[in-house]
Amino acid sequence: MSTAANAGFSLMANLPALQVVVPMVAAPICTFLRFRNGPWAFALLVSAATFWISANLLMQVLGGDVISYEMGGWAPPFGIEYRVDTINAFVLLIVSGVSLIALPYALRSVEREVPRDKHHLFYAAWLLCLCGMLGITITGDAFNIFVFLEISSLSTYMLLASGRDPRALTAAFQYLVLGTLGATFILIGVGLLYIMTGTLNIADLAERLGPVSDTTSVRAAAAFLTVGIALKFALFPAHFWLPNGYAYSPSAVGVFLSATATKVSIYVLLRFQFTVFGDIPAFAELDFATLLLPFAVVAFLVGSTVAIFQTDLKRLLAWSSIAQIGYMVAGIGLGGIDGLTAGIVHLFNHAVTKAALFMAAGAIFLRVGSMHIDKLAGIGKTMPFTTLAFVLAGLSLIGVPTTVGFISKWYLILAALQHGATGYAIAALVLASSLLAVIYVWRVVEVAYFREPATNHEVTEAPLSMLLPLWALTIGCFYFGLETGYSVDIARAAAQSLLGVTP
């Protein structure tokens, strides 16, 4: 259990609460900081603090402990419990880490893409979004998940629409419509569970669900929750909000959200699937994650195919995200320690890879002013460092050995091969989809290196504040591809804890 709750206020003992409270309190403060770069610096500071907290939390639970924190001193199941175990500590680290590394990058990008008088609101929304995602991850209460989901969603709508591109408004509106629908489904699911069990605490739900598990209400709850959450992580065909949302929002938002928002939703899926419904025998034959498997396969095939035909670089990356989400869900759908490990490790690996790619795209946008692929001619000469980083991260997207993308696919294929003929087919499709990724990455490489730059427009290398985070992540793609000790081991530990297997 938690490190002893000492008398009086102990910083270390209250870390779970601080994880959420710090960005939440910081957000309104941020709106008062209206001087140049003030909101940004403040957000960076807060982000660093949350990252430090998540790192500490992960350290505390890596040994297999579970932190149970009683919000306001109310004991569960009556009060709200914050519960940290390996898996959500891992997700917390990803979210706060991405925020921390995306913010330095955001400075120049936001300066250009968001009107100056909106900066304080932009960073406040950023912090709220961070708070929402951390809250979703850390809370042990089903209804609390919904509340934080709404906090993160509302701030996401704002972030998406904050740029100058008018198309972002319709994209944000579309996400508003669909996201509201998804949240409603989740609320209905949670409501049904509450009716059937009388509790909202996740650990408590899992215990009380047993006797009533074979009822239509619980099954309906499972269906509503799965579909509602699937919308949030943009599983094909619930992906409609994603491509435009990521493509037309400010670059920094694309970096931040593509690496975090969908990952958090997948965590929620894991939580409901394994912790809440996991012990129920009725679901063993056809659990709701298994039903996701065909969707996942279609998602990575369609996502990769459509990405090939995109003319907008960010849309290309967004469609590639839909494919990558397919890989994660495929891992979860395949099940077992290996499948789950593959899915969870890809959460991390894709966060690193896609954040790097969106950063490169954003840097190019800053200098070129367009995301149309034809406008990127010769950019390999004018922006050599940015383009090189893009290509290296692209290799990771494809899954070339020594990159993190390879690690993910390796485990995914290992998991698939345990499933007989179907598994072989899925493995073959994963490889085919990787080949499609070669094509769409190559399209960019070809334009960037093999076409002469337009002479009338001087393009210079991206500023250092963007290059540094970009290269940090790009190196991360390779570092974690070679040194799998952290990511894979943590993912495996998380998978084991989800499945209730002792290592």
Partner 1 sequence: MMWTDLPPGLILLLGGVLAAVLPHHGRKALMLVLPFVGFWQLIDVPNGDHAVVSLFGAELVGSRIDSLSLVWGYIFYIAALIAGIFHLHVRDRMQDVAALTYMGSAVGAVFAGDLISLFIYWELTAVTSVFLIFANRTNAGFRAGIRYLIVQIASGVLLLGGLILHWRGTGSVEFGNIGIDAPGGLLIFLGFGIKAAFPLLHNWLQDSYPQATVTGTVILSAFTTKMAIYTLARGFPGQEELIWIGVVMTAFPIFYALVENDLRKVLAYSLNNQLGFMVIGIGIGTELALNGAAAQAFSHILYKGLLFMTMGAVLYRVGTVKATELGGLYKSMPMTAGFCIVGAASMAFPLFSGFVSKSLIISAAAGEGMWFVWAMLLFASVGVFVTTGIKIPYFAFFAWPKQTQKTCNEAPFNMLLAMGVSAALCIGIGLFPGYLYDILPYQTDYEPYTGSHIVTQMQLLLFSGLGVAWLMRTGLYPAEMRSTLLDSDWIFRRALHRVWRATVEWGTETSGALTGGMRGWVNTVIGVAGRLGGPGGLVSQTSKPGTGVFWLTAMLGLYLLVFGL
Task: Name which of 222 and 347 has its Cβ closer to partner 1.
Answer: 222
Contact predicate 405/399, CB 8 Å:
yes
Q: How far apart are the first and last CA of the chain?
A: 19
* Residue 15 or 444 having the CB closest to partner 1: 444
Number of residues that bind partner 1 (CB under 8 A): 37
Structure tokens at 288: 């709701």
98 with 256: CB under 8 angstroms? yes
Nearest partner of 232 among 284, 285, 272, judged by Cα: 272
Told to check if 222 binds partner 1 by CB under 8 A, we report yes
Q: Which stretch binds partner 1 (CB under 8 A): 52-60, 93-101, 181-189, 388-396?
A: 181-189
Peptide bond into 237 cis (omega under 30): yes
Q: Is 308 in the site for partner 1 (CB under 8 A)?
A: yes
CB 310, min distance to partner 1, A: 8
Binding of residue 333 to partner 1 (CB under 8 A): no
Query: Residue 238 or 357: which CB sits closer to partner 1?
Result: 238
- Give the gyration radius of the chain's Cα atoms: 22
Q: Are 276 and 205 in contact (CB under 8 A)?
A: yes
- Of positions 140, 243, 378, 394, contacts partner 1 by CB under 8 A: 243
- Inter-residue contact 131 to 154 (CB < 8 Å): no
Q: Among 5, 12, 66, 227, which residue sits at the site for partner 1 (rule: CB under 8 A)?
A: 227
Question: Is residue 305 packed enough to be buried (19+ CB in 10 Å), middle (13-18) or exposed (0-12)?
Answer: middle
State the minimum distance, in angstroms, from the CB of residue 195 to partner 1. 16
Stretch that binds partner 1, among 172-180, 378-386, 477-485, 488-496 (CB under 8 A): 172-180
Binds partner 1 (CB under 8 A): choice among 6, 35, 216, 285: 216
Which residues, including other chains, have CB under 8 Å from residue 292's CB and lie 6 or more apart? 226, 230, 235, 329, 332, 333
User: Which parts of 5-24 interact with partner 1 (CB under 8 A)?
Assistant: none
Token pair 């345990």 in the structure block, residue: 418
Candidates 37-45, 103-111, 176-184, 376-384: pick the segment binding partner 1 (CB under 8 A).
Answer: 176-184
> CB under 8 A: which stretch of 283-291, 385-393, 407-415, 487-495 binds partner 1?
283-291
Q: Does 238 bind partner 1 (CB under 8 A)?
A: yes
Q: Are 50 and 23 in contact (CB under 8 A)?
A: yes
Task: Look up residue 445 and give its amino acid.
Answer: V
Residues 6+ apart with CB under 8 A from 206: 275, 276, 278, 279
CA 298 from centroid of its chain's CA atoms: 20
Nearest C-alpha neighbor of 487 from the set 345, 331, 343:
345
How wide is the angle at C-alpha 13 spanned by C-alphas 11 and 18, nearest 5°? 60
CA distance 307 to 168: 19
- The answer to the question of residue 302 lying near partner 1 (CB under 8 A) is yes
**Binding of partner 1 at residue 182 (CB under 8 A)?**
yes
Residue of 24, 30, 106, 231 interacting with partner 1 (CB under 8 A): 231
- 173 near partner 1 (CB under 8 A): yes
Per-residue 3-state assignment (H helix, E strand, C coil) for 450-481: HCCCCCCCCCCCCCHHHHHHHHHHHHHHHHHH
Q: Select the span of 117-125, 218-226, 261-269, 401-409 touching partner 1 (CB under 8 A).
A: 218-226
Q: Can residue 370 be called a binding residue for partner 1 (CB under 8 A)? A: no
- Segment interacting with partner 1, rule: CB under 8 A, options 28-36, 52-60, 219-227, 329-337: 219-227
Distance (Å, whole) CA 197 – CA 200: 8
- Residue 79: name the closest of 15, 139, 3 by CA: 139
Q: Which of 32, 74, 78, 309 binds partner 1 (CB under 8 A)?
A: 309
- Least Å distance, CB 276 to partner 1, is 14
The sign of the dihedral angle between the CA atoms of 143, 144, 145, 147 is: positive
> Judged by CB under 8 A, which of 37, 311, 418, 422 binds partner 1?
311
310 vs 497 by CB, closer to partner 1: 310
Q: Which is nearer to partner 1, 31 or 305 (CB)?
A: 305
Q: Helix (H, G, I), strand (E, B), or coil: what is residue 372?
A: strand
- Cα–Cα nearest to 146, from 77, 85, 195, 200: 200
Which one of 288, 365, 390, 478 is in contact with partner 1 (CB under 8 A)? 288
Nearer to partner 1, 93 or 178 (CB): 178
- Is residue 163 a contact residue for partner 1 (CB under 8 A)? no
- 303 or 476: whose CB is closer to partner 1? 303
Of 344 and 397, which CB lies nearer to partner 1 in the complex structure?
397
Nearer residue to partner 1 within complex by CB, 178 or 472: 178
Q: CB nearer to partner 1: give 170 or 402.
A: 170
- Residue 192 CB, shortest distance to partner 1, in Å, is 12
What does the DSSP 8-state code read for residue 68? E
With CB under 8 A as the contact rule, the residue among 28, 64, 115, 237 that binds partner 1 is 237
Residue ranges binding partner 1 (CB under 8 A): 170, 173-174, 177-178, 181-182, 185, 216, 219-220, 222-224, 226-227, 230-231, 237-238, 240-244, 286, 288, 291, 295, 302, 305-306, 308-311, 319
